[in-house]
Amino acid sequence: MPESTDTALPGTTSDHDQGRWGARGLLPPIGPQRTLALATFVTMLGSGVYLVAAALYFTQSVGLSVAEVGLGMGTAGLVGLLAGVPVGHLADRRGPRQVYLATQLVQAAAMGALVLVHTFWQFTAVLCLVELSRAAGAAARGPLVRGFGGDELPRFRSYLRAVANLATSLGAVGAGLAVQLDSRPAYLTLVLGNAVSFVACAAIVRTLPPLPPVPVPSAAGRWLALRDPAFVAVTALDSVLGIQGSVLVFALPLWIAGHTDAPRGLVGVTALLNTAMVVAFQVRASRGVDSGRAAARALRRCGWAFLAGMAVISVTAGLPGWLAATLVLVGVAVHTVGELWHAAGSLELRFRLVPAYAQGQYTGVSGLGTGLAHAMAPTLLGLLCVSWGAPGWLLMGALFVLVGLAAPAAVRWAERTRPIEVRPA
């Protein structure tokens, strides 16, 4: 397989590249890219453990009600959105490695503190700190990925996404085995295991060479990302498309269990299928998505794939169990193709439209949009797909199509209004 012809984005650097990807593209070159990939795997492995254990730990071990857990998580999720932009700006100005390292240590401390909570207010306060540090870390990580991605940035960020999906799934499988014990020691082990993963991530990140801040043009003002309406518009459309991530993990399990005769164990099979496809094909799906125009086309295509996948899933109610299960798997596969295209286009735009000296700040704005979309996703999908049924699945798919169709115009607007150093040649 020939090497990628991807070129460096304006403002990126290849100073830290050490070698090229192997012929099969299975591993990044030895050096900062592989180190950051390892750090990603470790921290997402811990996150996979935590995602499975969190709700059960807080209800079964801490003794909180389901309503209290939902309210606390929702509050913390909204509070966490406040951290991305200012911490991303700090990473731009102080250097991303140091800031990202600090966020991992804060996350480790906050996650460890969760084993000490006993009341709703303690739980909410500590979880707010967890979410603040999580959002801060995501914003600081953006400049790291850009700086170390160099002339392999499109492939590298796709590779990181595949690594994150694999690690999260492995962590979830391991946590599922521990949850079977249903004891406080088992839950404490899982929560503390996630805390340890942040410490391990920090130790790995500490071995990375420092990335100096990118010089800021004198004409650039403060909070550039928040004063960029074209990028905000692109982010809004991308965030709506990002609701698709909740279709398979929220709406589909409820649909399988409540509206079809397919076995409930199919939920795990669909998750495995989705993960396997992302791990196997994300890098390949991102090839050629190396410009604003190509990214816009990917977003347009993904909307149609989401509609097609959701249309197949919508007809499974009332069918024999074996046929319903078969069609669900077909629908998930088609939906995942849309997810691959969406990720490729979204990741390209989050770097392509951004000046290198403000990558962290812009990443914070992207995270803000994604967080708001994730907060509204359960309500929207619950009303449409789960409660309304087949028409709701089709309506949600149609919304994805409309947003995808609007993306090219928004991207063209954003490209016309870029600072000179990030305008496409």
Q: What CATH number did the domain enclosing 342 receive?
A: 1.20.1250.20
Q: Does one domain contain both 152 and 258?
A: no
For 310-364, the pLDDT digits (tens) are: 999 999 999 999 999 999 999 999 999 999 999 999 999 999 999 888 999 999 9
The answer to which of 13-27, 116-130, 342-356 has the lowest mean pLDDT is 13-27
CA distance 286 to 214: 27
Q: Is the pLDDT of residue 130 over 50?
A: yes
Q: For the residues 44-55, what does the mean pLDDT come to?
A: 85
Ramachandran assignment for 105, one of left (phi > 0), alpha (psi -120 to 50 degrees), beta (any other): alpha
Which structure tokens are listed for 233?
Answer: 């518009």
Q: Does one domain contain both 167 and 245?
A: no
- The domain total for the chain is 2
Q: Which residue type, as a one-letter code, is found at position 191?
A: V
Give the count of beta carbons closer than 10 Å to the beta carbon of residue 200: 18
Determine the Cα angle at 136 with ends 172 and 30, to 5°: 65
CA distance 425 to 410: 18
Q: Does one domain contain both 234 and 173?
A: no
Q: Does one domain contain both 273 and 172?
A: no
The answer to which of 60-64, 142-146, 347-351, 400-404 has the lowest mean pLDDT is 60-64
In the listed set 144, 176, 205, which residue is the last one of a domain according to the structure? 205
3-state secondary structure the chain: CCCCCCCCCCCCCCCCCCCCCCCCCCCCCCCHHHHHHHHHHHHHHHHHHHHHHHHHHHHHHHCCCHHHHHHHHHHHHHHHCCCHHHHHHHHHHHCHHHHHHHHHHHHHHHHHHHHHCCCHHHHHHHHHHHHHHHHHHHHHHHHHHHHHHHHHHHHHHHHHHHHHHHHHHHHHHHHHHHHCCCCHHHHHHHHHHHHHHHHHHHHHHCCCCCCCCCCCCCCCCCCCHHHCHHHHHHHHHHHHHCCHHHHHHHHHHHHHHHHCCCCCCHHHHHHHHHHHHHHHHHHHHCCCCCCHHHHHHHHHHHHHHHHHHHHHHHCCCCCCHHHHHHHHHHHHHHHHHHHHHHHHHHHHHHHHCCCHHHHHHHHHHHHHHHHHHHHHHHHHHHHHHHHHCHHHHHHHHHHHHHHHHHHHHHHHHHHHCCCHHHCCC
In the listed set 205, 235, 255, which residue is the last one of a domain according to the structure? 205
In the listed set 205, 240, 273, which residue is the last one of a domain according to the structure? 205
Contact (CB, 8 A) for 238 and 346: yes
312 inside domain: yes
136 inside domain: yes
Residue 10, pLDDT score = 34
Which structure tokens are listed for 9?
Answer: 């984005």
Contact (CB, 8 A) for 268 and 323: no
End-to-end Cα spacing for the chain:
28
CA distance 241 to 256: 23
Q: Does one domain contain both 64 and 92?
A: yes
4 inside domain: no
Cut 0.75: pTM above it: yes
Q: Which domain holds residue 391?
A: 225-422
For 166-221, the pLDDT digits (tens) are: 998 888 887 877 777 778 888 898 899 999 999 999 999 999 998 888 887 766 66
Q: Does one domain contain both 134 and 239?
A: no
Q: Does one domain contain both 376 and 241?
A: yes
Residue 17: alpha-carbon gap to chain centroid: 25
Q: Does one domain contain both 234 and 196?
A: no
For 232-243, the pLDDT digits (tens) are: 999 999 999 999
Ramachandran assignment for 158, one of left (phi > 0), alpha (psi -120 to 50 degrees), beta (any other): alpha
158 inside domain: yes
Q: Does one domain contain both 230 and 100?
A: no
Q: Does one domain contain both 293 and 417?
A: yes
Q: Does one domain contain both 271 and 353?
A: yes
403 inside domain: yes
Does the CA dihedral 280-242-154-205 come out positive or negative?
A: negative
Q: Is the pLDDT of residue 390 over 90?
A: yes
